[in-house]
Structure 1
Amino acid sequence: MATHGTTPPPPPGQRRGGCLSSLLVLAVILGLAYGASTYFDDKDSSPSASPSSGGDKTSSWNVGDCGGPDPDDAPDGYRAVDCGDSGATFKALAVMEASILPDAIQCPAGTDLIIQVKISFGSGGDKSGGIPSKTVCGRNLKGDHPGDAGAGGGQLVKGDCVTGTAQEVPCAQAAGSGYKVLGLVKDAKECPSGTTEPMRLTLAIGRPYDVICAAKA
């Protein structure tokens, strides 16, 4: 069974006693805090949602709520809007807890867009920052649905298609050279009958599966 995207682990760090050990611990804590801050402020890592006009919607997203692009936070910002509003472009299929580990969020099948909702404090007006509070799994109200099984977008789900290097592609392009996803499991022994190509993935903390159970498309 091939392993896809495997990278060698970094060499173990060396620890010393006394004050140096305390300094190393402090450095690690500061490093983690900086990394978390960078993650929270990186708009390119995932779209963000901001409060709608007239109230703070970030803490009260529910299944069935709608949202659309936020003109004050273009091009990746979104805001909650009424489903009858002309600016509504998606509806929430699920509302989940936020996570600093992107792979730990597994939205339901049919999710076209995954938006991280953030709560900002103060009146600085910088919508690129904030603390992640919720994850909204959205489905487009109109147009294509890249999150549907086999469509080639969204998160990988059963029924999607992948290349020999485990990259998702539309099933319409996979005939003869690609593979159909039969299941997503932690261990290859759990793959369903019909699996001919169990693809073991590089370890990712929080991801609910480590193996793609696949067969020729």
Structure 2
Amino acid sequence: MGERWSAGAVCALLAALLAGCSTTSGSDTGDGSPGAKPSESSTTQPSGYGAVFLAVDECSSFGTTSFTEVPCTSERAAARVIARYDGDVGSGPACPATTDFVLHISAQGTPGTGRDGAVPKGYACMRDLEPPHPGDPGGGGGPRTIVGDCVYGSGSGQVRETACDGSGPKKPQYKVVKAVLKRASCPPSTALYVQLGGSQPVGCARPV
């Protein structure tokens, strides 16, 4: 498409290279106060655009201060949009389980028209075109904790994702082996309950 965007924090854009950028996952260690897991993200503001920014199946390049929507066949293409929603990520639909990172898009008006919000606030769920994929089970990142992911205790009843193969900055302590509706459905080997969200919000994790 060739539209130019400006980007804020780009930790999410480098997630495939920096396993340490994985986000905090909510956990419940029995104190009744599960934590929240924010999504990896970069807040973006367009400086030129078409009908829809980064629509489903469109691709973007990566950059340190900016990124550009590009054809998926371009040598510069690095990630593809696998889902796109309006509104805030906290109140909108969850990204697909194997999303590698999330781009938060700021609302913008049409230049020269005085119309605010012509491009609505929203977010794009991105999947890298090339491996490694931090959003895959055990990959050590992505905006969601899913079955197959590994975590370590980060204090105050919280856990953070880390690569199951030990390649991350922190060694894995627990692995999520099952997602269930209630704790009682977890297997006897469960040593930690991890907040996953969705229709099966409880992750049953065992030591590794």
TM-score bin (small chain):
0.5 to 0.7
Equivalent residue for 2:126, pick from 110, 116, 138: 138
Deviation at 1:90? Answer: 0.2
- Backbone CA RMSD of aligned residues: 3.9
TM-score (norm 1): 0.58
Is the contact made by 1:111 and 1:147 (CA closer than 8 Å) also made in structure 2? yes
Structure 2: which amino acid aligns with 1:211? V
Which residue number corresponds to residue 151 of structure 2?
A: 162
Deviation at 1:186? Answer: 5.0
Q: Which has the larger radius of gyration?
A: 1
Which residue number corresponds to residue 212 of structure 1?
A: 203
Is the contact made by 1:120 and 1:131 (CA closer than 8 Å) also made in structure 2? yes
1:35-54 Cα offsets, whole Å, 9 max, x none, are xxxxxxxxxx8313455856
Deviation at 1:200? Answer: 5.5
Q: Does 1:80 align with 2:69?
A: yes
TM-score (norm 2): 0.60
In structure 1, list runs of 5 or more residues that go unmatched.
8-44
Cα distance change of structure 1 residues 78 and 50 upon mapping to structure 2, 3 Å threshold? farther
Q: Distance in 1 between matches of 2:164 and 2:60?
A: 29
RCO comparison, higher one (Cα < 8 Å, 6+)? 2
Which residue number corresponds to residue 50 of structure 2?
A: 55
Which runs of structure 1 show a deviation greater than 6 angstroms over 4 or more consecutive aligned residues?
none
Q: Distance in 2 between matches of 1:132 and 1:47?
A: 16
Is the contact made by 1:99 and 1:105 (CA closer than 8 Å) also made in structure 2? no
Q: Does 1:65 align with 2:53?
A: no
Q: Distance in 2 between matches of 1:132 and 1:101?
A: 16
Cα distance change of structure 1 residues 123 and 52 upon mapping to structure 2, 3 Å threshold? closer
Deviation at 1:105? Answer: 4.8
Please state which structure has a larger fraction of its residues in helix. Answer: 1
Cα distance change of structure 1 residues 140 and 100 upon mapping to structure 2, 3 Å threshold? closer
Q: For residues 1-217 of structure 1, what are the structure 2 equivalents within 5 Å?
A: 2-3=29-30, 6=33, 46-51=41-46, 55-58=50-53, 61-62=55-56, 64-69=57-62, 75=65, 77-99=66-88, 101=90, 105-121=93-109, 123=111, 133-154=121-142, 155-164=144-153, 165-173=158-166, 178-191=173-186, 193=187, 195-199=189-193, 207-208=197-198, 211-217=202-208
Cα distance change of structure 1 residues 112 and 130 upon mapping to structure 2, 3 Å threshold? farther
